[in-house]
Amino acid sequence: MHCPTLDDLAVALSKFDAFIVVLAFTSDKLPELTPLLIEPCIDAIYILNVDEKVNGSIEPWWNRTTIVHNDKQLMRHLCTKSMLCYFNEGLEHRKNGNFGLANACMLDSLRALDHSAQFI
C-alpha cells in the first residue's frame, strides 16, 4: 500500500496492526518517519540510502531495519521478505493439517524466491 502522507501512514499502521507490515522508504524521509517507526506492528523496515548518513542505531526499531543502496537491492530484499511470509504461512497451514493451502503457500514462496533472483 502506498501512503502519500504521514497521516495516511499512521492510519494504515493502526488499521493493519494484525498484519505483517513492511515499510520501505528513502533515507531523506527518515527524520519525519522516525516517530512512527516505534510502532510494534512494523515487522521490517527497508531504507534506501540516497547518499546520506543514516543514523538510528540506538533507536528501538533499528533491529528491524535493513539499509539498501540501490533499487535492485531493495527489490531483492522485498521479494525475499515476501518469500519468507509465504513459507511461514505454509508451515502454519501444514501444522493445522491443511495440506492443500500449505502446498499453495509453498509454491507461492518458491515463485517469490525465483522472482528475487531477477534482482541479483
Q: Give the C-alpha separation, 107 to 111, whole Å.
A: 6
Each residue's pLDDT tens digit, 46-84: 999 987 777 777 788 888 999 999 999 999 999 999 999
pLDDT given for residue 118 in this prediction = 93
CA nearest to 67, candidates 79, 81, 54, 76: 54
- Beta carbons within 10 angstroms of residue 96's beta carbon: 10
Q: Which helix (H) or strand (E) holds 27?
A: none
Give the pTM: 0.86
Q: Give the C-alpha separation, 12 to 43, whole Å.
A: 14
pLDDT given for residue 71 in this prediction = 93
Q: CB–CB of 54/34 below 8 Å?
A: no
